[in-house]
Amino acid sequence: DPSLEKPVSSRTASAQFLDPLHLVPCGRSDTVRMRCSLPAVNPASSHDSLALANVGAAQTLQARAARDTLLAQWLRDAAAGNAQAFEKFYDTTFGHAQSLARRMLNRSDLDDVLADAYLQCWREAARFDAARGSAVTWLLTIVRSRALDLLRRRRASVEADAAELPADLPTE
């Protein structure tokens, strides 16, 4: 139904991979088709467009809240030793973690950093507090910290190697 297509910014289009927004690409990079049942509106009316945006925003918030509740429950279960719950947490959040790590690191470092981050999540699942933020935010903070640790170690290693060079070498 073409009446359900609406242009979106690139940020919104990429957000479809982060949240269960019920959005799917519809062939063009500048449009997204909503799979949920929304009221038919006249796109020429700004009031109707605003109403459509509010419906979409409310559905987004509801989906995100449901996801966060489920992830928090899986972390509580993982803290009690339930490996299947942690596997569900991993499967649901891996795309988020990989996306962040990919923006910060070389491809060759992704697997190590993500493995370290998820191992830390497993070990510290009992420390997660839903009152302080979402499980995805908690995970991404851990991924970011592990990635920064790696980058700092690499920088320190390069600086140490440079300090070991003899001082009488000619410079270009």
Cβ atoms of 23 and 35 closer than 8 Å = yes
Give the model's pLDDT for residue 23.
37
Closest CA to 115 of 80, 88, 152, 90: 90
Tokens of 78: 């993982």
Tell me, yes or no, if the pTM score tops 0.75: no
Q: Give the 3-state secondary structure of residue 124.
A: coil
145-153 long-range Cβ contacts below 8 angstroms, 24+ apart:
146/113, 146/116, 146/117, 146/120, 147/100, 147/101, 147/104, 147/105, 147/109, 147/113, 148/104, 150/105, 150/109, 150/112, 150/113, 151/104, 151/105
pLDDT score at 7: 43
Confidence of residue 170 (pLDDT cuts 50, 70, 90): low
Q: Is a pLDDT exceeding 80 seen at residue 62? A: yes
* Residue 27 identity (one-letter amino acid): G
